[in-house]
Amino acid sequence: MKIDNLNSLVDSIKDEVIFWRRQLHQNPELSYHEEETSEFIFHLLQSFGYFEVTRPTKTSVMARLIGKQPGKVIAIRADIDALPIQEESLVDYASQNPGVMHACGHDTHTAMLLGVAKLFSSLYFQLKGELRLIFQHAEEKFPPGGAEELVQAGVMEGVDAVIGGHIWAALESGKVGLAYGPMMASPDSFYLTIKGKGGHGAMPHQTIDAITIGAEVVVNLQHIVSRNIDPLDPVVISVGRFVGGTQNNIIPGTVQIDGTIRTLNPKLRQEVPLLIERVVKGITSAHGADYDLNFILGYRQVINDDRIVQVLEETVREVMGDEGIAFVRPSMGAEDFSAYLQKAPGAFFFLGGGNKEKGCVYPHHHPCFSIDEDAMQKGINIFMHTALKLLAE
Ligand SMILES: [Zn+2]
Ligand SMILES: [Zn+2]
């Protein structure tokens, strides 16, 4: 399929995409409750014509544009959910849903993918293969997260390649962030109970002090990162919760210590829990205490396929020039886009959305979060060109 004036096609829907984005922004819905959002997407997609539009789960939407000639199946994913945050940004299209806000930019993802849908529907008669658009619910809510559910529901059946992107406030608008290989971490959790023996604060010898033992565990967990792991392999272990005791003169018999483990390497993901248990076991047994330790595995790592990143890189250079490329370091944040990568090779990219002059300076999940809407046109361009290239392979 050869498309000459794709850029002018993308220009032609710019205002409409901004309109959709603002509609979505004003009406944000929480993960698993994207009822109106998914209705809006569903009806809009139907109005474009040619798409086979379905609801793989209650609040998600899938749209298939199946060309008359056989070819590759290329999927693009956008997430559609918002966050439990009261918006404090000063935009005149701020959230009208109290306590809920599109503070991660998923409204822009949805609007961009709707733009891609509209343009592709106008190219239907030239289409070889299938373009599959996945409007995913509940990216922000683990477990299990929307992606895993959609994969279970079969949205990736027959897909040859999958692409996705995230608007990125830390990256200047006009740039696209790419990474070959690992791009985002797996966010696994641990829940530890130290079991000692409580007693009087004045008679510690009669107790097994869960607080001092717990404190030693916390300090020693950092030795895993600094002494057991190759310094060139990124690993994070953070304790986010340490709870124990009731009063200053009572030594508690138990404390609860919960934390997060971030790794970019699947092998280390297996190893770190064993190292954590070794530390916990050693320290508790040294002091005559016991423990319960549980791990909950989060999303998998996002590991990009080199060949597809290469197609993205070529596309960005063509569409935005060499200055559009920003090779980014992986993020220790997480994304359930990784679920799709279990089924087909793919790549995820960051679309720069930061802009100091427009006041788009706040991080994701901040009550004042906002993005440069001009970035959306670039995003649509990247999705369109990349999908067309992958379909033509
Ligand atoms: Zn988020
Ligand atoms: Zn997000």
Query: The domain containing residue 119 runs over which residues?
Result: 6-183+301-392
At 64, the pLDDT band (50, 70, 90 cuts) reads very high
Residues 118, 195, single domain; the answer is no
Our answer to whether residue 299 is catalytic in this structure is: yes
Q: Which of 296, 312, 335 is the last residue of a domain?
A: 296
- Mean of the per-residue pLDDT values for the chain? 97
Q: Which of 296, 317, 338 is the endpoint of a domain?
A: 296
pLDDT digits (tens, 9 = 90+) for 238-266: 999 999 999 999 999 999 999 999 999 99
pTM score, whole prediction: 0.93
How many CB atoms lie under 10 A from the CB of residue 49?
11
332 pLDDT higher than 70: yes
Whether 194 and 223 share a structural domain: yes
For the chain, percent of residues with pLDDT exceeding 70: 99
Of 1, 10, 4, 5, the residue nearest 383 (C-alpha): 10
Neighbours of ion ligand 1 (CB under 5 A): 104
Residue among 87, 148, 313, 373 flagged as catalytic: 373
pLDDT over 90 at 5, yes or no? no
Instruction: Using pLDDT thresholds of 50, 70 and 90, give the confidence band for residue 275.
Output: very high
Separation of CA 66 and ligand 2 centre (Å): 29
Q: In the structure, what pLDDT confidence band is assigned to residue 16 with cuts at 50, 70 and 90? A: very high
pLDDT at position 382 is 97
Establish whether 362 is a catalytic residue: no
The total of structural domains in the chain comes to 2
Three-point CA angle 125, 126, 129, nearest 5°: 100
Same domain, 215 and 327: no
CA of 104 to the centre of ligand 1 (A): 5
Among the listed residues 299, 313, 335, 340, the single catalytic one is 299
Q: Same structural domain for residues 197 and 223?
A: yes
The ligand that comes nearest to the alpha carbon of residue 165 is 2
pLDDT digits (tens, 9 = 90+) for 92-120: 999 999 999 999 999 999 999 999 999 99
Query: In the prediction, which pLDDT does 7 show?
Result: 83
Q: In angstroms, rounded to a whole number, what is the distance separating the alpha carbons of residues 131 and 278?
A: 49
Asked if residue 284 and residue 213 are part of one domain, the reply reads yes
376 is a domain residue: yes
On whether both 190 and 265 belong to a single domain, the answer is yes
Assess whether 268 and 324 both reside in one domain.
no
Mean predicted confidence (pLDDT) in 202-214: 98
At residue 372, does pLDDT exceed 90?
yes
> In this structure, are 226 and 240 located in the same domain?
yes
Q: Are residues 56 and 174 in the same domain?
A: yes
Identify the pLDDT of residue 4: 62
pLDDT, mean of residues 9-28: 97
Indicate the residue among 261, 296, 331 that finishes a domain. 296
The band of 2, judged by pLDDT with boundaries at 50, 70 and 90, is low
pLDDT by residue (tens digit) across 128-150? 999 999 999 999 999 899 999 99
Ligand whose nearest atom lies closest to the CA of 364: 1
The CA 268 to ligand 1 mean position distance, Å, reads 25
> Residue 199 pLDDT more than 70?
yes
Residue 385 maps to which CATH number? 3.40.630.10
pLDDT (0 to 100) of residue 6: 83
Same domain? For 156 and 232 the reply is: no
- Mean pLDDT, residues 31-43: 98
pLDDT in tens, 177-188: 999 999 999 999
Residue 37 CA to ligand 1 center (angstroms) comes to 17
User: Looking at residue 3, what is its pLDDT?
Assistant: 59
- Residue 1 pLDDT > 70: no
Instruction: State the CATH number of the domain containing residue 224.
Output: 3.30.70.360
* The pLDDT of residue 304: 98
Residue 1 inside a domain? The answer is: no
Distance 292 CA to ligand 2 centre (A): 33
